[in-house]
Structures are given as structure tokens and as C-alpha cells.
Amino acid sequence: MLTFVGLGLYDEEDVTVKGLKAIENADVIYAEFYTSKLLGTTIEKLEEFYKREIRLLDRNDVEQAPDETVLRDAECKNVAFLTAGDAMISTTHVDLRIRAHDRGIDTQIIHGTSIATAVCGLTGLQNYRFGKSATIAFPYRNVSDVPYDTVMANLRSDLHTLLFLDIQEEFMKLGHGIELLLHSEHEKGRNQLASLLAVGIARAGSRSPTVKADVLARLKEYDFGPPLHVLVIPASLHIVEKQALQTFAGAQNVPDCG
């Protein structure tokens, strides 16, 4: 049996009761934190809280060689596979579940809090108004235009955009992410995003998250504190969305909308 357990957003206390029971009952516990991080805790704190040893896996272990660890053990043992956020947000985890199925291994999913839903709660933006999301990555050679193109496509469809910030080499901060987004627009000879309303969110799931709404150009200069950071570019706003951003994110001069 292979049980995927989403641990939630921030620290060891975010796990659900059902997830905690699955961890307690597992014969072997694996975890990966390269697709997302729990910045409010450490492996040592997780092990102390769950009272279990956790075997940490890297990208190669999960994506290239799961037959040697997770799947091998799951054929004859009760294995818990821990991830930050929700257990199935990452394509990597879906692929691992498919591989388990192909080997005749039973699987189950215990969901955890996801940034996709936390953003809606923290901002008041309605979940059904979000379009495709994208990740602003560190430019290895050139700045990727995918995040900018995603934002513009969503705006044309009157949909909000959630933009994740890269965590692979280091934790990208909102100011850097906005700079890369505006760079893509500048390269295309356009000048629209800087004056649009945007919302920055830091440390979702912690006791002191930061949520700030302002035009993108000013938001770039705001100090959001420690990571993780995400960025939202809203489309037109429902009256309740507008009121929520004014109340909880300090939005000012938000235009009236339908």
C-alpha cells in the first residue's frame, strides 16, 4: 500500500488528523520537499512531532529511481509518502501513483491544504475565477515568457492568474519575480502590466502571512519578508472580491466592477 499524505502549507502542525494517523500506521515513511517546501519546520521537527523516522528523497529518487525505494517497499509494506501542500498538486506525484498502479500496488490519497485554495482564502478572490497558473523561473539563459503569456491569456478571458515563484536554486522573492514579468512585457514592446492591480502573498499557512495589493510597479518595491512568496494578477473583480482586497490586502482606488 502506498499512501500519499499532503502535509499542508507551513509546518508540522498543518497535517490533518487522517494524515497523522496514516503516518503513525505506516511501516516506512518517505518524503520529498523539492517540489515545494515547509519553511516553518525541519525534518528533525517533523520526526519529533510524528515520532517516526522519515527518509528524505531527492528528485532523482522520486522521478528516475522510485523502483529502488518507494515502490519496492510499497509492494510488501505500508508506505507513507509525504509532500508539502496537497499530495497530488504536482505532476511528479501523479506519475508516481500511476507507476504504483502499473505494479499492482494499492494507493490512497490524504489531501492537505494547497496554496491554490489558501490564496483564495487570504485574498477573497473566488476560486472559480482563476485560469491557468504558471511559475516564474530563474532565467538560466533567457527569461521565460510563459508567465507573461499566461497572464495575458487569462486577462483576455477575464480570469485571475496565480503565479508561483521558483524555489529550485534559492527562494525567489516577489520583487525579482515582478521584474522578470515586466522584462518579458518590455521585450514585447508593451506597457500594460505595471499599472495593473496585483496581490503578493508571503508565508501562507503561517501565523503571520503577509497579503498586500497594489499596482504591480509599486508592489515590486514592497518588503514581503521571508519566503515562500506567490503573486496573483486579478482580472475584473466581483464586488465582494473588491471589498475583500480592500479589507484584508490594503487595496486602494480599486475600480468599480460587476
Residue-level pLDDT at 24: 96
Residue-level pLDDT at 141: 80
CATH 3.30.950.10 positions along the chain are: 115-248
* 3-class DSSP state of 147: helix
Contact (Cβ atoms closer than 8 angstroms) between residue 23 and residue 15: yes
Contact (Cβ atoms closer than 8 angstroms) between residue 125 and residue 119: yes
Give the N- to C-terminal CA distance of the chain in Å, as an integer: 50
Strand extents, DSSP E, the chain: 2-6, 28-32, 55-57, 79-83, 107-110, 134-136, 161-165, 197-202, 210-215, 229-233
Residue-level pLDDT at 180: 96
224: which 3 cell numbers? 514581503
Residues with pLDDT less than 70, the chain: 255-258
Residue-level pLDDT at 255: 63
For residue 193, whether the previous peptide bond is cis, meaning omega lies within 30 degrees of 0, is: no
CATH 3.40.1010.10 positions along the chain are: 2-110
Compute the mean pLDDT over every residue in the chain, rounded to the nearest whole number: 94
Q: Which CATH superfamily is domain 2-110 in?
A: Tetrapyrrole methylase, N-terminal domain (3.40.1010.10)
What HEC string does 14-79 produce? HCCHHHHHHHHHCCEEEEECCCCCCCCCCHHHHHHHHCCCCEEECHHHHHCCHHHCHHHHHCCCCE
Residue-level pLDDT at 258: 41
For 157, other C-beta atoms within 10 Å of its C-beta total 10
| Residue range 215-226, pLDDT digits in tens | 999 999 999 999
Q: Which CATH superfamily is domain 115-248 in?
A: Tetrapyrrole methylase, C-terminal domain (3.30.950.10)
